[in-house]
Chain A
Amino acid sequence: MAHEATHDHHDDHHHHAPQGFFQRWVMSTNHKDIGTLYLVFSLLMFFIGGSFAMVIRAELFKPGLDLVQPYFFNQMTTMHALVMIFGAIMPAFVGLGNWMIPLMIGAPDMALPRMNNLSFWILPFAFTLMLSTLFMAGGGPAGGWTMYPPLSLQSDSLAYVVFAIHLMGISSIMGAINIIATILNMRAPGMDLLKMPVFVWSWLITAFLLIAVMPVLAGAVTMLLTDKYFGTSFFNPGGGGDPVLYQHVFWFFGHPEVYIMILPAFGIISEIIPTFARKPIFGYRAMVYAIASIAFLSFIVWAHHMFAVGLPLGADIFFMYATMLIAVPTGVKVFNWVATMWGGSMTFETPMLFAIAFVILFTIGGFSGLMLAMVPADFQYHDTYFVVAHFHYVLVTGAAFAIMGATYFWLPKWTGHMYSEFWGKVHFWCSVVFVNVLFFPQHFLGLAGMPRRIPDYNVAFANFNMISSIGGFLFGASQLIFLGVVVHCAFFAKKKATDRVWEGAKGLEWTVPSPAPHHTFEVPPVVRDEELAHGHTDD
């Protein structure tokens, strides 16, 4: 039994962790410590990005400009998106992957531990560079996170943002290479690819997406940089360029990027639901194939972000059909989650609550996605608050809820203590109520004709904006409960977590002690199918 070897470390697991703070955290090559760093960084960025959102919702609280100048408002919308996407959601998933993938596949660490350290420590510098522009004379980027030229070329902070994005891209690419190398080469003997947890599968596929599209983003922003400072005309019609080409290249990155932010969430939900339903996941292979098909389709739907740029009729039709096709594998996933719950024996701890909310609210985001795919209707929806509502349902109640659920799910394994179930549930119910107060009225605003990214609006939009803002403030405040629960669990909680933590938990990560010792699986564990969450893959 492999666990005996790791159990030896249980009593003196601090023995292997470096003693000094600097040594331990800055010089770390340990996947668990780096995972923790990623998660802490992501939480910090979540609050910074959230504070930008508070500025936005405060300005939109009622008609009339009361707080900020329009240009600063545009900086807020731009920075909110960049920080949340590249600073909060993506690093959170990388952190979860870092922590859990080696534990789930029985590897001693990531395949490239030193590169792992580098890919994390690039991020604080990248975000310092980007956020510093807010304090400069010309202000931060204000052309939207998509940075469409020619507008983005008018910004003085373009170079800072481009370099920051290059750094984030390098970090993501190194992280992705590391994850693929780990999953393909470091699995314990007997951990076949089709016995891996769905979370590991989702990260494997996500990492391939990252590798394919982050270089394309780097290329696109490099061309912006040379257009602004070195006299090229990639996107300048005056020099024979074409601004629409930027959008094609950007969305070739941008659409897979959307799935980079949701596929690991699918994986997390596919771990949480079977655990609390005490029943194996329904259609394991179908789940894996669905993730793979969504990933494939994500490469051929990019222009559905551009239906209003005047694409040729044939292109409109192709991208509409391809986009609608994504509803099929996504539907399969949702149906399979429901089927996993059906016939189970469910309990509703906080991770399960977040997972159930994810399935319902992500599906609502999927529905509005299907509506947006219909090109004639998209001519109306495009660039309105309907789109804002859509992608916040997918990214907040989708990706962010999955990350929160995952945090509650694995926090006892990380810290060795149980979090406060009461406060976890308070956090859940506050979040799930207020997030709907925040985003649901935005559907109506969009349908009624309110464009995105405007700092002020006609009084006809006043009522729903005020409701949305109130929801926003309360949702933002609710996240302080989350912070409190996590800090309490990490430093003050008394209740010890068992090794298995949850009654229905299956998989290698639950065979190591809680908290997980500094080094695990130094000797590859003996994998026994019945101990795995997905050991019997007869379907």
Chain B
Amino acid sequence: MTSGSIRTGRIEPNQHRTPPGRWAGIRRAGAVSLALALALCSGLAQANPEPGQLNLTRGVTTWSEVPYFLNNVVLGVCVVIGILVFGAMFIAMFRFRKSRGAVPEKWSHNTMVEVIWTTIPVLILVALAWLATGGLVSFADTTGSQMTIKVTGYQWKWRYDYVDYLGKPISKVGYMSKLDALSDKTRQLHSGLDPYAVTTDGYNTYLINVDKPLVLPIHTKIRFVITSDDVIHSWWVPQFGWKMDAIPGIVNTAWTNINETGTYRGQCAELCGQDHGFMPIVVKAVSQEDFAKWLADQQQASAPAPAAASSAAAPASAQTAAAPAKAGNG
């Protein structure tokens, strides 16, 4: 595998950790269009997805507000336009029926009206584009990260490697994460087991639980470098607000900065073969102190085992080894 095929992430504008403030304000203001969804979300902060959930999750990171807010704004715009257009249609259908004696008029164009309904959508779109572009630029800015995690997709499990934390490289901390045993047993064809019985802490985790979750600290800007060892996968935790494809031969980057401790669940979001539906993602977000302790334990546990050498390049292939090298610059 040649290094020529590695594409280096994205253009990184020279902004330094800008977005959280702006979006946090909006978040605290609680500008929400779908009150029902909000009520469902606020009830169980841990639980995701919600039974009967109607809207996007607002997420738990500094950036996850962006898609949530944008979703609500565009949805609102669409609802308003929809009411106007469909309203006009229904009025027309009621007023101009032959059975009510309507006589067809002859006109078939009106330049004024046509100019208006071409211009107004353009103005709306410009406003939406402005909002979306801001959010996109902040997402693309992976600079200033305090930690790097390498995510590798396999058919059908994930591998997590801890590359660096607070400027210090980490070696030998990395592991596979796959569907938990109970879900796996239950999901077999004609297993006879009840999916409703697969619970963790009173919350149903059928197909969204793993044997070993990814442990991350909160209030830390974490950079992910994402790649794959076989086919294309996509790493997605809805509470983080984004998904990023894991593509063999390519290293993609993304970042997150989690606000609250908790367990956040997602799934592979790119068809990757027969068990595509069975490779969930679980992130356990803990406080920085707990994380430091956990990391020390992991390093200690792996230290005496020579077999686990160079965990960062564990799936030994040239293109994955490029990730830590790149991470060093970041």
Residues of A bordering B, CB below 8 Å = 63-66, 68-71, 74, 142-144, 148, 150-151, 154, 237-238, 240-244, 277-284, 286, 308-314, 316-317, 320-321, 324-325, 327-328, 331-332, 334-335, 338-348, 356, 359-360, 363-364, 367-368, 370-371, 374-377, 379-380, 382-384, 444, 447-464, 504, 536, 538-539
Q: Given A144-B271, A341-B96, A344-B105, do A459 and B54 touch, yes or no (CB 8 Å)?
A: no
Question: B48 on the interface (CB 8 Å rule)?
Answer: yes
Question: Within the complex, which residue of A243, A328, A368, A377 is in contact with B247, where a contact is CB–CB below 8 Å?
Answer: A243
A313-B137 Cα distance, complex, nearest whole Å: 7
Task: Determine whether the beta carbon of A376 is less than 8 Å from that of B139.
Answer: yes
In the complex, chain B residues whose CB is within 8 Å of the CB of A344: 92, 96, 102, 104-105
Interface positions of B from 89 to 106, Cβ below 8 Å from A: 89, 92-93, 96-99, 102-106
Question: Within the complex, which residue of A240, A309, A374 is in contact with B128, where a contact is CB–CB below 8 Å?
Answer: A374
15 additional A-B residue pairs with CB within 8 Å, beyond A310-B226, A376-B241, A444-B53? A142-B273, A143-B273, A241-B5, A286-B114, A308-B243, A308-B245, A314-B11, A325-B125, A328-B125, A341-B96, A360-B89, A447-B55, A448-B57, A451-B269, A462-B51
Task: Determine whether the beta carbon of A343 is less than 8 Å from that of B78.
Answer: no
Question: Within the complex, which residue of A142, A371, A458 is in contact with B274, where a contact is CB–CB below 8 Å?
Answer: A142
Q: Given A331-B121, A458-B206, do A449 and B232 touch, yes or no (CB 8 Å)?
A: no
A309-B85 Cα distance, complex, nearest whole Å: 35
In the complex, chain B residues whose CB is within 8 Å of the CB of A461: 49
Task: Determine whether the beta carbon of B189 is less than 8 Å from that of A237.
Answer: no
Question: Within the complex, which residue of B86, B104, B247 is in contact with A310, where a contact is CB–CB below 8 Å?
Answer: B247
In the complex, chain B residues whose CB is within 8 Å of the CB of A282: 108-110
A356-B194 Cα distance, complex, nearest whole Å: 44
14 examples of A-B residue contacts, CB within 8 angstroms:
A65-B190, A66-B189, A69-B189, A74-B271, A237-B1, A311-B10, A313-B137, A344-B105, A347-B97, A356-B89, A379-B243, A449-B57, A453-B277, A461-B49
In the complex, chain B residues whose CB is within 8 Å of the CB of A241: 5, 249
Interface positions of B from 195 to 213, Cβ below 8 Å from A: 195-196, 204-208
A536-B106 Cα distance, complex, nearest whole Å: 11
Q: Looking at the complex, which of B63-71, B170-178, B290-298, B300-308 is the stretch in contact with chain A?
A: B63-71
Name which of A143, A331, A456, A458 has the most chain B CB atoms within 10 A of its CB. Answer: A458
A238-B248 Cα distance, complex, nearest whole Å: 9
A-contact 0/1 string along B12-51, CB 8 Å cutoff? 0100000000000000000000000000000000011111
Question: Within the complex, which residue of B53, B140, B189, B250 is in contact with A65, where a contact is CB–CB below 8 Å?
Answer: B189
A309-B5 Cα distance, complex, nearest whole Å: 15
In the complex, chain B residues whose CB is within 8 Å of the CB of A368: 78
Question: Within the complex, which residue of A242, A320, A325 is in contact with B136, where a contact is CB–CB below 8 Å?
Answer: A320
Question: B314 on the interface (CB 8 Å rule)?
Answer: no
A450-B140 Cα distance, complex, nearest whole Å: 25
Q: How far is the CB of A534 from chain B (nearest CB, A)?
A: 9
A-contact 0/1 string along B246-272, CB 8 Å cutoff? 011110110000000000001111111
In the complex, chain B residues whose CB is within 8 Å of the CB of A144: 271
A375-B245 Cα distance, complex, nearest whole Å: 14
Task: Determine whether the beta carbon of B104 is less than 8 Å from that of A343.
Answer: yes
Task: Determine whether the beta carbon of A463 is less than 8 Å from that of B5.
Answer: no
A369-B5 Cα distance, complex, nearest whole Å: 32
Name which of A321, A375, A380 has the most chain B CB atoms within 10 A of its CB. Answer: A380
Task: Determine whether the beta carbon of B269 is less than 8 Å from that of A308.
Answer: yes
Task: Determine whether the beta carbon of B114 is less than 8 Å from that of A332.
Answer: yes
Write the chain A residue with the least CB distance to B273: A151
Q: How far is the CB of A283 from chain B (nearest CB, A)?
A: 5
In the complex, chain B residues whose CB is within 8 Å of the CB of A464: 52
A327-B253 Cα distance, complex, nearest whole Å: 31
A453-B270 Cα distance, complex, nearest whole Å: 8
Task: Determine whether the beta carbon of B104 is less than 8 Å from that of A279.
Answer: yes
Q: How far is the CB of B248 from chain A (nearest CB, A)?
A: 5
Q: Given A316-B136, A317-B136, A364-B82, do A310 and B270 touch, yes or no (CB 8 Å)?
A: no
Task: Determine whether the beta carbon of B132 is less than 8 Å from that of A237.
Answer: no
Name which of B67, B105, B122, B189 has the most chain A CB atoms within 10 A of its CB. Answer: B189
A536-B71 Cα distance, complex, nearest whole Å: 44
Task: Determine whether the beta carbon of A379 is less than 8 Å from that of B186.
Answer: no
Q: Given A339-B113, A344-B105, do A66 and B49 touch, yes or no (CB 8 Å)?
A: no
Q: Given A243-B249, A331-B121, A338-B88, do A154 and B243 touch, yes or no (CB 8 Å)?
A: no
Closest 5 CB pairs of A and B: A237-B249, A539-B109, A454-B277, A310-B252, A448-B53
A-contact 0/1 string along B202-241, CB 8 Å cutoff? 0011111000000000000000001000111010101001
Task: Determine whether the beta carbon of A454 is less than 8 Å from that of B319.
Answer: no
Task: Determine whether the beta carbon of B89 is less than 8 Å from that of A376.
Answer: no
A487-B1 Cα distance, complex, nearest whole Å: 59
Task: Determine whether the beta carbon of A308 is less than 8 Å from that of B49.
Answer: no
Q: Given A74-B276, A313-B136, A459-B206, do A283 and B114 touch, yes or no (CB 8 Å)?
A: yes
Task: Determine whether the beta carbon of B98 is less than 8 Å from that of A278.
Answer: yes
Residues of B bordering A, CB below 8 Å = 1-2, 4-5, 7, 9-11, 13, 47-57, 66-68, 70-71, 74-75, 78, 81-82, 85-86, 88-89, 92-93, 96-99, 102-110, 113-114, 117-118, 121-122, 125, 128-129, 131-133, 135-137, 139-140, 186-191, 193-196, 204-208, 226, 230-232, 234, 236, 238, 241-245, 247-250, 252-253, 266-278, 319
In the complex, chain A residues whose CB is within 8 Å of the CB of B105: 279, 343-344
Task: Determine whether the beta carbon of B269 is less than 8 Å from that of A383.
Answer: yes
Q: Given A64-B195, A375-B136, A379-B139, do A455 and B109 touch, yes or no (CB 8 Å)?
A: no
Q: How far is the CB of B320 from chain A (nearest CB, A)?
A: 11
Q: How far is the CB of B183 from chain A (nearest CB, A)?
A: 9
Task: Determine whether the beta carbon of B1 is less than 8 Å from that of A238.
Answer: yes
A148-B248 Cα distance, complex, nearest whole Å: 12
Q: Given A367-B82, A459-B206, do A383 and B118 touch, yes or no (CB 8 Å)?
A: no
Question: Within the complex, which residue of A143, A316, A377 is in contact with B271, where a contact is CB–CB below 8 Å?
Answer: A143
A538-B108 Cα distance, complex, nearest whole Å: 9
Q: Given A313-B10, A447-B53, do A308 and B234 touch, yes or no (CB 8 Å)?
A: yes
A151-B246 Cα distance, complex, nearest whole Å: 13
Task: Determine whether the beta carbon of A332 is less than 8 Å from that of B206.
Answer: no
Question: Within the complex, which residue of A142, A340, A457 is in contact with B277, where a contact is CB–CB below 8 Å?
Answer: A457
A154-B97 Cα distance, complex, nearest whole Å: 58
Task: Determine whether the beta carbon of B238 is less than 8 Å from that of A380.
Answer: yes
Name which of A284, A313, A316 has the most chain B CB atoms within 10 A of its CB. Answer: A313
Task: Determine whether the beta carbon of A346 is less than 8 Å from that of B243.
Answer: no
Q: Given A238-B1, A328-B118, A448-B53, do A376 and B277 touch, yes or no (CB 8 Å)?
A: no
Task: Determine whether the beta carbon of B195 is less than 8 Å from that of A454.
Answer: no
A65-B1 Cα distance, complex, nearest whole Å: 38
Task: Determine whether the beta carbon of B85 is less than 8 Å from that of A338.
Answer: yes
In the complex, chain A residues whose CB is within 8 Å of the CB of B7: 310
Task: Determine whether the beta carbon of A277 is less than 8 Å from that of B104.
Answer: yes
Name which of B50, B55, B104, B122 has the most chain A CB atoms within 10 A of its CB. Answer: B104
Task: Determine whether the beta carbon of A324 is less than 8 Å from that of B248.
Answer: no
Task: Determine whether the beta carbon of A154 is less than 8 Å from that of B231.
Answer: yes
Task: Determine whether the beta carbon of B136 is less than 8 Å from that of A376.
Answer: yes
Task: Determine whether the beta carbon of A64 is less than 8 Å from that of B186.
Answer: yes
A282-B137 Cα distance, complex, nearest whole Å: 41
Task: Determine whether the beta carbon of B96 is less than 8 Å from that of A451.
Answer: no
Task: Determine whether the beta carbon of A237 is less than 8 Å from that of B51.
Answer: no
Task: Determine whether the beta carbon of A376 is less than 8 Å from that of B85.
Answer: no
A321-B195 Cα distance, complex, nearest whole Å: 43
In the complex, chain B residues whose CB is within 8 Å of the CB of A70: 274-278
Task: Determine whether the beta carbon of A380 is less than 8 Å from that of B5.
Answer: no
In the complex, chain A residues whose CB is within 8 Å of the CB of B48: 449
Question: Within the complex, which residue of B93, B204, B226, B248 is in contact with A237, where a contact is CB–CB below 8 Å?
Answer: B248
In the complex, chain A residues whose CB is within 8 Å of the CB of B10: 310-313
Question: Within the complex, which residue of A243, A334, A450, A455 is in contact with B49, where a contact is CB–CB below 8 Å?
Answer: A450
A55-B210 Cα distance, complex, nearest whole Å: 29
Q: How far is the CB of A440 from chain B (nearest CB, A)?
A: 11
